[in-house]
C-alpha cells in the first residue's frame, strides 16, 4: 500500500512542479543555480535545516558514491537577517551548498522541519519520492529501493 500512496504523492508533486516556476538559489559563494526544475541525469536534492544537518551527513556520504547528481540545500528560514553573513561564512569550508533563506524550495516540495529531506528525481525531472527520517520503515524501504535502482547507491 505504501508504494501506491508514494506513487500518488509523486504524481501530485510532479504536477505541481510542472506548474511552478524555477527555484533559483545562491550558494555560499554567491553563485546562482537552478534547483528546480531538475533536468538531465537523475538527481537527489538533500534539503535540511540546522537540526536535520546531522541526519544529512551519512546520506550525503552514500549518495556521493552513486551515479546521481547530488544537490545540497540548506533551509535557513529561521536565521535572522542580521546573522546571515555569519551563517554564510560557516559554509565556506563545506562542499557547495545552496542557501534557501526564504523557504522557496520548501514551498514547492514540502519540508519536514528537524529532519534531512531527500527528494529523488528521475532522469526526466520527475519527482520519484520524498523521504525524511520521520517516515516509517516502509517509507525508508521504498526510498532505499528506488535509490539503489536509480542511483546505484546501497543505503
Domain ranges of the chain: 2-151
Grid cell, residue 30, equals 554567491
Question: Residue 127 has what pLDDT?
Answer: 94
**pTM above threshold 0.95:** no
pLDDT band at 21 (very low <50, low <70, confident <90, very high): low
Report the run of H or E that residue 108 belongs to, with start and end: helix 104-109
Alpha-carbon distance 68 to 152, whole Å?
8
pLDDT at 2 over 50: no
CATH of 2-151, one of 3.40.190.180, 3.40.50.300, 3.30.420.80, 3.40.30.10: 3.40.30.10
Question: Residue 95 has what pLDDT?
Answer: 86
Amino acid at each position: 500500500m505504501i508504494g501506491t500512496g508514494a506513487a500518488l504523492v509523486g504524481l501530485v508533486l510532479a504536477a505541481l512542479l510542472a506548474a511552478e516556476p524555477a527555484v533559483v538559489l545562491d550558494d555560499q559563494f554567491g553563485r546562482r543555480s537552478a534547483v528546480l526544475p531538475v533536468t538531465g541525469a537523475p538527481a537527489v536534492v538533500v534539503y535540511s535545516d540546522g537540526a536535520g544537518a546531522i541526519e544529512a551527513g551519512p546520506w550525503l556520504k552514500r549518495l556521493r558514491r552513486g551515479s546521481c547528481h547530488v544537490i545540497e540545500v540548506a533551509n535557513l528560514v529561521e536565521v535572522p537577517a542580521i546573522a546571515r553573513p555569519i551563517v554564510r561564512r560557516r559554509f565556506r569550508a563545506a562542499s557547495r551548498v545552496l542557501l534557501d533563506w526564504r523557504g522557496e524550495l520548501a514551498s514547492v516540495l514540502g519540508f519536514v522541519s528537524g529532519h534531512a529531506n531527500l527528494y529523488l528525481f528521475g532522469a526526466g525531472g520527475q519527482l520519484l519520492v520524498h523521504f525524511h527520517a520521520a517516515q516509517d520503515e516502509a517509507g525508508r524501504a521504498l526510498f532505499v529501493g528506488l535509490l539503489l535502482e536509480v542511483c546505484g547507491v546501497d543505503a
